[in-house]
């Protein structure tokens, strides 16, 4: 059965282009379009779609308000369509908090050619979103903050241990769940999350606000220090290198690996080379298999490895692929991952 998609966007051009692109996949059926959330609400009842594509900014009712109501009353897979702007990035991260599964970006100019330029990415994301388990994660004012796990006393703090994390679809919220429970003096963490270039800096800033650690978008040549988190820019691979006893970030614009730049496999390969058995590595929720082979290579040289379990993953592609080839020492629910990473670094 084809995936039934309802497209919600106030732009007639975007509705037309998205319909044409998605209808080009025999596994996808565009069952309808809507120009605003009020029309969409009625069409959801009539057409019972499997997936929604939802514009972030719309008249009459904004996308976030509609998404909040939808995830409370009728949770279903939602793919956000975001503008490539700082405001678009912030709204998109709020949408992911509310339960949207993933997002795609639309250019500010030449929308038709811009969207057609990554037609296959759009189709792939619809297939991934259709398999997802959407969960409303509305953040209410007055809710208790996540409990930060206390670091055990250490006689010597060094950069010897490094935690490496890879994620894709659903990863922005999974990474947040891990980082917001890390103690401020946790070992250095390097992260590759599949994300557009203009979204990685706002994502790092958002993580910095929610974590006791210091979080930044990685810069070329930046020293890697305990208590700090380094997130790969959306335009470059992130690698770890070492000079003497010190570790550094290295950015690369080498071709994509596994169709991704940044790539998790690229990061993990560098971690295996320069950190070796002192590394601790994890793959969180995500589509595809990026990171699986190099996670296995890390385990084979003595590094500690884990993946997020299927029940708590939005999409069990990347972690599932790693588990299938024996790359993971253990498979854990999201709320147990921070504690395990810290235990292995003590």
pLDDT at 58: 78
- Mean predicted confidence (pLDDT) in 125-134: 88
What would the pLDDT profile of 9-40 be if each residue is shown by its tens digit? 998 999 999 999 999 999 999 999 999 999 99
- Split at pLDDT 50, 70, 90, the class of 56 is confident
**Residue 333 reports pLDDT greater than 60:** yes
What would the pLDDT profile of 228-258 be if each residue is shown by its tens digit? 999 999 999 999 999 998 999 999 999 999 9
Q: What CATH superfamily is the domain 3-130?
A: Response regulator (3.40.50.2300)
- Split at pLDDT 50, 70, 90, the class of 115 is confident
290 is catalytic: yes
What would the pLDDT profile of 295-305 be if each residue is shown by its tens digit? 999 999 999 99
127 is catalytic: no
Return the domain boundaries, the chain: 3-130, 162-345
Contact 80, 54 (CB under 8 A): yes
pLDDT at 139: 44
pLDDT at 63: 85
243 is catalytic: no
State what percent of residues in the chain have pLDDT above 90.
78
Out of 82, 168, 263, 313, which one is annotated catalytic?
Answer: 168
**Residue 159 reports pLDDT greater than 50:** no
Highest mean pLDDT among 70-79, 137-146, 157-166, 233-242: 233-242
**Residue 269 reports pLDDT greater than 50:** yes
- Mean predicted confidence (pLDDT) in 265-280: 98
Tell whether the torsion through CA atoms of 11, 16, 21 and 25 is positive or negative. positive
pLDDT at 111: 73
Compare 61 and 69 and report the one with higher pLDDT. 69
pLDDT at 145: 66
Identical fold at 3-130 and 162-345?
yes
- Mean predicted confidence (pLDDT) in 114-121: 79
pLDDT at 136: 53
The least confident of 14-18, 32-36, 111-115, 164-168 is: 111-115
Taking the C-alpha atoms of 42, 45, 49 and 55 in order, what is their torsion angle to the nearest 10 degrees?
A: 30
What would the pLDDT profile of 172-193 be if each residue is shown by its tens digit? 999 999 999 999 999 999 999 9
**Residue 155 reports pLDDT greater than 60:** no
Out of 36, 82, 194, 237, which one is annotated catalytic?
Answer: 194
**Residue 156 reports pLDDT greater than 90:** no
- Mean predicted confidence (pLDDT) in 306-329: 97
Out of 36, 55, 290, 309, which one is annotated catalytic?
Answer: 290
The least confident of 28-32, 115-119, 269-273 is: 115-119
pLDDT at 140: 44
| Pairwise CA distance, residues 181 & 162, whole Å | 17
Count of CB atoms situated within 10 Å of the CB of 117: 11
- The CATH code of the domain at 162-345 is 3.40.50.180
State what percent of residues in the chain have pLDDT above 70.
93
**Residue 70 reports pLDDT greater than 80:** yes
- Mean predicted confidence (pLDDT) in 98-112: 83
Please provide the average confidence, as pLDDT, over all residues in the chain. Answer: 91
Is 317 strand, coil or helix?
Answer: coil
Q: 230 has which bridge partners?
A: 190, 216
Residue 92 CB partners (closer than 8 Å, separation 6+): 56, 80, 82, 100, 103, 199
Q: What is the DSSP letter of 156?
A: -
| Pairwise CA distance, residues 257 & 237, whole Å | 9
The least confident of 32-46, 85-99, 305-319 is: 85-99
For helices 197-210 and 171-179, angle between their N-to-C axes, nearest 10 degrees: 30
| Pairwise CA distance, residues 175 & 191, whole Å | 9
**Residue 100 reports pLDDT greater than 50:** yes
């Amino acid at each position: 059965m084809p995936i039934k998609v309802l497209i919600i966007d106030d732009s007639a051009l975007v509705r037309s282009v998205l319909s044409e692109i998605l209808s080009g996949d025999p596994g996808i059926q565009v069952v309808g379009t809507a120009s605003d959330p009020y029309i969409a609400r009625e069409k959801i009842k009539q057409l019972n779609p499997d997936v929604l594509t939802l514009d972030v900014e719309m008249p009459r009712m904004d996308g976030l308000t509609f998404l909040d109501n939808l995830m409370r009353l009728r949770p279903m897979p939602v793919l956000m369509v975001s503008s490539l702007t700082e405001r678009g990035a912030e709204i998109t991260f709020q949408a992911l908090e509310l339960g949207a599964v993933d997002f795609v970006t639309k250019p500010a100019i030449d929308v038709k050619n811009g969207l057609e330029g990554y037609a296959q990415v759009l189709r792939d994301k619809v297939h991934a979103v259709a398999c997802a388990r959407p969960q409303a994660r509305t953040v209410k004012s007055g809710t208790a903050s996540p409990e930060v796990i206390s670091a055990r006393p250490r006689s010597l703090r060094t950069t010897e241990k490094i935690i490496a994390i890879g994620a894709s679809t659903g990863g922005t919220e999974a990474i947040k769940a891990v980082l917001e429970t890390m103690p401020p003096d946790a070992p250095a963490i390097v992260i590759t999350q599949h994300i557009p270039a203009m979204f990685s800096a706002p994502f790092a800033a958002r993580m910095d606000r929610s974590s006791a650690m210091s979080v930044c978008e990685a810069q070329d040549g930046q020293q890697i220090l305990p208590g700090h988190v380094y997130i790969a820019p959306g335009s470059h691979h992130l690698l770890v290198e070492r000079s003497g006893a010190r570790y550094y970030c290295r950015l690369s614009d080498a071709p994509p690996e596994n169709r991704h730049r940044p790539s998790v496999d690229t990061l993990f390969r560098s971690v295996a080379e320069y950190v070796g058995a002192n590394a601790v590595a994890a793959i969180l929720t995500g589509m595809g298999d990026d990171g699986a082979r190099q996670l296995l290579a890390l385990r084979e040289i003595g590094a500690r490895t884990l993946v997020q379990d299927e029940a708590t993953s939005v999409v069990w592609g990347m972690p599932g692929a790693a588990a299938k080839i024996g790359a993971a020492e253990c498979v854990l629910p999201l709320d147990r991952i921070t504690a395990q990473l810290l235990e292995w670094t003590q």
